[in-house]
Amino acid sequence: MFPPRRSYTVPLADGRVLELGPRPFVMGILNVTPDSFAESSSRTDPNAALELALRMEADGADMIDVGGESTRPGAEPLPAAEEARRVLPVLQKLHGRIRVPISIDTYKAEIAELAIAEGAVLVNDVSGLRYEPALAEVVARTGAALVLMHTRGRSKAMYREAHYDDVVREVGGEIEASLAVATGAGVGRDRLIVDPGIGFAKRAADSYGVLARLPELAVRLDRPVLVGPSRKSFMQGVLGSKPAPERDWGTAAAVTAAVLAGAHVVRVHAVAGMVQVVRVAEEIRSAIQA
């Protein structure tokens, strides 16, 4: 029913590698912003962030993604100095305490370089190198891995550009352009992970369409696929106007669909519960393919 999940070895900045394919990985989201859409309380205090990261690791997170700027639709851009003020103390706390790989969620070359110096080994770029192409040069020089997410436009205007004749074909083509920018700057293709950008410059129907046709996208791009549906507003049409922290059941359904469709990584807030979801969904997938 579902195609086999391809396996990839993704080198990281510290010499470790991610073996993506044998099982889906869970990336825990560690937002250190005062205005995250998905959480009811701020986690800008480095000690609180460390406590949450340790809990995520104990709950089964395979990676932890640290972000200091909200990129939700409508968000204002954050100056690099403020982003650095938020994330660097957290990364310093995590360095040496967290065993799983640390990712930095940023599109800024300056922040990526600072974060990698503090122990981040992977860069998660929501812009797919569209905002700051110079980020690719930092990744190439430091040997970090890079997630290229699909979006269109900046946060305040992305929904104006959410018009597709064939969402999977167009998203695939635009991610291919991002892959070309990365490799053109010297980033090894083996260091690249792709993310179709659920909820970013997409109407709800587009996000569901991407999830439903994920195997098609994976075959076309031939890179590990990360899917991030966690608590996003594309679910509101079927769940009603629940606040983001109350969308974990809907997230569980989307995560199950992503795993069945062959996602290599799912990016989530509620790590403990989603680890259970991922493990059961993977067993179902394995039984289908047996």
Residues classed as catalytic: 232, 267
- 3-state DSSP percent of the chain in helix, strand and coil, to 5: 45, 15, 40
Query: What is the β-pairing status of strands 145-149 and 122-125?
Result: parallel
Three-class secondary structure of residue 55 per DSSP: helix
Three-class secondary structure of residue 267 per DSSP: strand
DSSP for 215-236? HHHHHHH-S-BEE--TT-GGGH
CA separation for the pair 82, 24 (Å, rounded): 34
Torsion sign over Cα 203, 207, 213, 214: positive
Q: At 223, list the tokens.
A: 């890179």
CA separation for the pair 274, 13 (Å, rounded): 27
CA separation for the pair 121, 118 (Å, rounded): 9
Q: Which helix or strand (DSSP H or E) is residue 280 part of?
A: helix 271-289
CB atoms within 10 A of CB 34: 11
Cα distance from N-terminal residue to C-terminal residue, the chain: 11
